[in-house]
Structure 1
Amino acid sequence: MRVVVLKRLADAVGDGDRVLAVVRGSAVNQDGRSNGLMAPNPGAQIAVLRAACANGGVDGREVDYVEAHGTGTLLGDPIEARALGTVLGRGRGPDSPLLIGSVKSNLGHLEAAAGIAGFIKTVLAVQRGHLPANRGFGQPNPHIPFDELRLRVVAAPTDWPATGRPRRAGVSSFGFGGTNAHVVLEQPPTQPVGQTGAVTDPGQRCAVTTLVVSGKTQARVASMAQVLADWLEGAGAAIGLAEVAHTLNQHRTRHAVLATVCARDHTAAVAGLRALAAGHNAPGVVGPHPQPRRSGTVFVYSGQGSQWPGMGQRLLAEEPAFAAAVAELEAPFLEQVGFSLQQVLSAGQPVVGIARIQPVLVAMQLALTALWRSYGIEPDAVIGHSMGEVTAAVVAGALSPAQGLRVIATRSQLMSDLAGQGAMALLELDPDTTHTLIRDYPTSPWRSTPHPDKP
């Protein structure tokens, strides 16, 4: 399993994250009517490439490499190559062709995972400035005029072309059902040391840095310490110690057993980690010790249906923290939703209509959270059901309150536009009785109705 973590660039830099690449632009479209399910649509591929570049503000001639869908078929490859040449190859000199390749030559076709495999490969290539070879490439496809299209397959390991600007690459992935996607990636900007707190020179001595190592058991802590020591002497040797500590301390789960290793440089850190792994005492090593167990607090935010006439009216009048939270939400609420939150809550009248109910409920949940926090109640985790997921995302810090209100305003308006096109019934019956009641209806979904004793 592979995971790609996406984050706003400003947030990633501010949090001291190691940014591997920047998504400059992306686009998705559909083949629509073509010659058949297995026949690509050249016009749609050209359109998705142009849209991705336009969305990222990138000139197609400034894309150095494209990770092609590249299934190796007689029909598909020439069509894809023609689209790449039309959009990204045009205007290039014969000495600066668009480099292309496909991870399928290394891994085969991973079907649903093919796109993310190519994406990860390209991110690493952009980060390292080196393009791996397209394995097994020997004789060029005679149906592709590479020189005319200004394309060249990366047949051998190749350093990234020196252009004097950030490295840029595209990633294409075309779905079996006709969906076309393209993403434009770019080398991240250089992060000043003072901005992230990271030490870019791993050999540079710095103030004492604390590495936090945790696990569910002492054996797991020892095992993790061994892995970290090996990594710091190998692949992680070029990573600043402060950056390693930031990741361990801020972006890893804290388990029940905890140890710390304090060090000024890589050498001392590795020595401390190996001592921890072996169970020996060493300068700067503390633990492992079990952390005191305590019960966690979880805030659970419900979906639509929890509204009632007069909700929030008394809290608005009697709880200063609640009233202050509502006042703070008023401006973004009015901007995103189009009516006054304070007026709705103070009036105590029923809130009617999906487009009004959902934003008001999210605002209520956010104001209630502020009230609980004023009492000293802080969540260790947050969970949301349906529209409550928006509130949970805001409380967790993934969205700002204004962003959360924008999401719920858009969601509720879309749902409101679809309202009245279906029906729902609530039956207070056990599953067997329900099956008997609706079995004879020709469109009955009774076979998929949950049953307590059946899978």
Structure 2
Amino acid sequence: MSNIGFTAAASGITSIIKVLLGYQNGLFAGNLHYNKPRHDINAIKDGRICILDDHCHINGNYAAVNAFSVTGVNAHVLLKGNRKPKDLAKYKSNIPHLVTVSGRQDTSVKKVLDNLKSRPIDPEELTLFHNIHSVVTPGHLGRGYTILETQENQTVSLGEAVNYFDYAKRPLWFVYSGMGSQWPGMGAELMNIPIFSAAIERCQKALEPKGIDIMQIITSTDPDIFNNILNAFLGIAAIQIGLTDVMYALGLVPDNIIGHSVGELGCAYADGCLTAEEMILAAYSRGQASIETKLIKGSMAAIGMGYKQILPLCPPEVDVACHNGPDSSTISGPADVTAQFVAELSAKGIFAKTVPTANIAYHSRYIAAAGSNLLQMLKKVIKNPRLRSERWVSTSVPQEDWNNAAAKYCSPEYQTNNLLNPVLFEETSHLIPNNAILIEIAPRGLLQAILKRSISPDCFSISLTKKGNGNVIHLLQTIGKLYIEGCTPDIKALYPMVELPVSAGTPMLSQLVEWMHLQEWYVPKPQSTEIITCAFCEHLISVHDKEHNYLRGNISQGKMIYPIGGILVLVWDTLCMSMLLPKKEVSVHFTDVHIEVQPIFSEEKLLRLHVAINKGNGLFEVSILFRGRCNNDWATLFRLLRKEM
């Protein structure tokens, strides 16, 4: 290790570093100042050992490290080289790279993000970041994310944020919105995410016997695509299935689930009550029942008033279909009556807007005729109703009826009831805790305005998607923001799996660690001398002492030997002294005693025996110290005894 320097006790780790650098660069570094071999070492003379005086190409895949230090630290390890070449094209992704980072402070996070933006994107390096940040690191109060993409051979950030995280455990809620969240082309960009596209393929196979092309429904930009109510139900359900799969693949599992109207189908899938195939076919049944049943020409409208305020104002023919929030509701009724009522409210300065529902007045008395048809269809899809978990809070059954048998199961009856009765979203949303994180899972954030006006300002509410272009970037930004808020998504699930270990040439991460030097750390100093963790004593023994004169007769092979029993007594004495007790009051039991060498007396020199006892585990060690005369005094330490008391 002459090209690193004399490292004494650290010679083992520096030897390993030298080998690792050699594997990375393809050359083992030569030793400095090595001019001629020693002639007193036969292995060098006959060529069995070759001292490197110049850089040497690596031959073979194994390297043995043997390091010996005069301080007693030895290292022995066999290393296998990682010769995998770097191939950046191997892990090509169709979406930009999201990277989440934590640190002790915000500057630590910014340092890492700036470093990543300054170099070409390396998927293997990013996988190392994903692995590190898939768990919470204690003491890391800073969190941030960046979205990286290569444009014109330059790494650019498409979105970035850094903030502090207070380590508070916040409940996670999934929110599934319903009709009205659909828009043309809503799934086109999302199909670039492998997890999402795999979910859509499952839906496609389930709908093939029906002659439905779900991929065309969610990717078409035809503005009239959702005039067919069946397409709307299927499109919303497919998007929710794909996004739910993405969330679960990231390891984001909700503490609670809530849905609005047909959004309760999404709840059923997230709760494990319906498979993807069952959910998409249940959505198909809902749409088919709406089309096949002869219904009046109806209409629905969003109103800027709570259901308690709008109910007395409604004409007799109009029902309040959805209790959205304290200042939001949806009415449903005959198209002409509803349109006239909407005009009257608008004239009074009250927000009122008709919503597209294919001329069907859902969640009102006018949809009742579709109930029996829908029930029969759902019985063919949901053949074995599953028990709803406590996570799923119902918005189609009043809370006082949740313990009824009919409300406990995700059954054809439950989903039919959802279609026919008012949506009780406002009543159920009161159960959302004040510090909850809410993720809206839908083609766009339809409920964001309602949620932010009706829940605590300490809650964090966000939608996975938005209407228009840039949906993948929006989704990645949302995941990054969730990380900052305290979630711990497993980001690598979004990208091609990287084979570990990573290839040679992957950048190191250790140099990116930034310590927080602003904070002072006080080291407690024990004030009591009675707090003893170990005991040490040096015993000086001479055959000229009356106490030890009798040992002159303890001869073995012509040498005076200090008895092993005497050494154990010295350990006993040291233990008693550390306990401040006389030896007659302390009993000891020796086990697993190892004798390396037995001390030899000398007429001319003192015998120096060092006794060291670990008070924590009872291990002790007795060593003998020799002193010789050279240019400098030197000492050699021999281990005599080691045992567990």
Give the alignment's TM-score, normalised by structure 1.
Answer: 0.30
More helix, by proportion? 1
User: Computing the radius of gyration over CA atoms, which structure comes out larger, 1 or 2?
Assistant: 2
Give the alignment's TM-score, normalised by structure 2.
Answer: 0.22
More strand, by proportion? 2
